[in-house]
Structure 1
């Protein structure tokens, strides 16, 4: 049997699709608080830019108040066909994106198929760019070969979700963190698709199949280019009255300096600066590490979190009764995996 090719390094997070009824709030949050470039396409759609790409965030009117799709940029048609082959071989339903869907996302050759937690996975081969100048409050964001950032997901089935991303994109384990929250332990694993320390983070409560987060995605990360812009964005978020979830702090594993604000849809947006880059030299000898605690300093809870904690408790209890969508066709766990 011919071994399948390893496509690590040939895919990166390209865009996110969010469904919300709060487009006015999203416009103000994106443009005035975080300082992104905002294009108002129609009454029912906004796009955020970070760079010369037409789209990094697509906000469409709908009831989910959540991320509903992740878009992965694929280097070449050969790798694209390899991924489609893996999905087809697993027996998953796969559909070609319509011309309208591709245009809204600013991409070409768009295909869509099921992802964990009912978030659609989308792949594309070419992103459309624009020469229109960026109208944003920040100097720049770090994207390029590293993609737009990362997504963090809480799950009751971490092994299955880890296997899904391994089977699909050959992501590699960067490291793990154990975060103690009172008597509970949160286990977090970080998966990279290239030089960015991680494109996907998976978190679970140790020993309990409980998910305390309402949204499918707990947070989304974007990387800002300067410390001055990070601090300015932090102050704009608080000055404009948007909720801040976690204050500025520094992570133990990737050393990123960041803060977490609450988006109008309820999941968090992490704005970070200066994380570790897994260069080819580091990649050659990289071994996953384990860290106790997610932060070296900072990242303290901001504001009155009682209502949020009660809401999460209710969601956690509900999650005990519900079975999480894991896409079993791509999530079977081989013996000895994920050590």
Structure 2
């Protein structure tokens, strides 16, 4: 997704998942989806990649068994401030992410908020790139992502029109 300057968001950059079985997810991610494990954090969470970005997916163990966050990239701190102002202008509560959270996401800075249906969202800039290239053992020729990001996602929405307005206009 290439954003217009008015929108400010340049791509869906990462997604987090909380799953009941890290072992099963690791097998699914690597053997079926063709993702790579960039690293494991001390708590066991998986940092998964598909391109030169340090991580695109992070998977931790827990009871949710669902998406835990959608991360939307902006170009820089000025773009972040612009989008935050727009969100706050329509009544969305935005909170800054901590330095620890930014480090776990491999980004320079992030803020957190929810869409009208309560889906957890983050805006960030300064995504780290990996030192080594990723080559999938499953997807010949690799993934097409980079500045295009993850391309798409599916979100649950209580009100389709409200969600369409939020994601399309805010």
Common fold by TM > 0.5: yes
Unaligned runs of 5+ in 1: 169-339
Which residue does the alignment assign to 1:105?
A: 105
- Structure label with greater radius of gyration: 1
Question: CA offsets per residue over residues 80-122 of structure 1, 9 Å max, x none?
Answer: 1111101222332221111221112111111001124322110
TM-score of the two chains, using structure 2 as the length reference? 0.86
Alignment root-mean-square deviation, CA = 2.0
- Deviation (angstroms), 1:42: 3.0
Runs of 4+ in structure 1 over 6 Å off: none
The alignment of Structure 1 onto Structure 2 pairs a total of residues equal to 164
Which residue does the alignment assign to 2:55?
A: 55
Which residue does the alignment assign to 1:114?
A: 114
Equivalences for residues 50-129 of structure 1 within 5 A: 50-129=50-129
TM-score of the two chains, using structure 1 as the length reference? 0.45
Change (3 A) 1:69 1:10: closer
1:145 aligns with 2:147: yes
Change (3 A) 1:63 1:7: same
More strand by share: 1
Equivalences for residues 130-141 of structure 1 within 5 A: 130-134=130-134, 136-137=136-137, 138=139, 139-141=141-143
- CA separation in 1, counterparts of 2:42 and 2:30? 16
- CA separation in 2, counterparts of 1:98 and 1:116? 23
Unaligned runs of 5+ in 2: none
Give the structure, 1 or 2, with the largest relative contact order (CA under 8 Å, sep 6 or more): 2
